[in-house]
Amino acid sequence: MCKVLIFSCLSVVMLMTTAYGAPLSEKNDTLTTLIKDLEKLGTSMKKINLELYTPNEKQECSWQTLQCYLKEIVTLENEIEDEDEIEDENVFSVRNIEKNLQKLTDLIPPGTGCKICEANDKKEFPEFHRELTNFLRSMLK
């Protein structure tokens, strides 16, 4: 009887760990993929002369920050689709980033009291790229 009770308790603990660990694993996988896609863009996108709203709020407004980055990535995608000099690989990376930012946004609960995207400073693409990469890395820790 005691063995059955212990086995049952262990089974419940394992199931709870699996259930609650899945979103964290999915979040970390998405963050890792996003960072890799941003690295692929690298220096080849420095040709883009575009200013994008770049959030400066961090952990307490993660959802709003991600929403802003997502909106600006869509702007970037629209801009580079019209450019002949931009390689298809970069367009593909930007689309992957957009898809994964949306996925990540869906995994995080919205915050309150955060400013809207347009209240942030506009920065050139290389600075936007660096800030987004650093923000994602901070979420991975």
Is 111 part of a structural domain of the chain? yes
Quote the domain boundaries for residue 69: 28-38+50-140
Q: Tens digit of pLDDT for each residue in 62-110? A: 899 999 999 999 999 888 877 766 677 778 888 999 999 999 999 888 8
Helix (H, G, I), strand (E, B) or coil at 123: strand
Is 73 part of a structural domain of the chain? yes
What CATH number does the domain containing 86 carry?
1.20.1250.70
Is 136 part of a structural domain of the chain? yes
Percent of the chain past pLDDT 70, that is, above it, reads: 77
Supply the DSSP symbol for 115: P
Is 93 part of a structural domain of the chain? yes
Rounded to two decimals, the pTM is 0.77
The answer for residues whose C-beta is within 8 angstroms of residue 75's C-beta and 6 or more apart is 50, 52
| Residue type, position 42, single letter | G
Q: How many domains does the chain have?
A: 1
- Give ∠ CA 35-59-123 in degrees, rounded to 5: 60
Is 20 part of a structural domain of the chain? no
**Residue 72 contacts residue 117 (beta carbons within 8 Å):** yes
The β-bridge partners of 5 are none
For residue 83, count other CB atoms closer than 10 A to its CB. 12
Is 67 part of a structural domain of the chain? yes
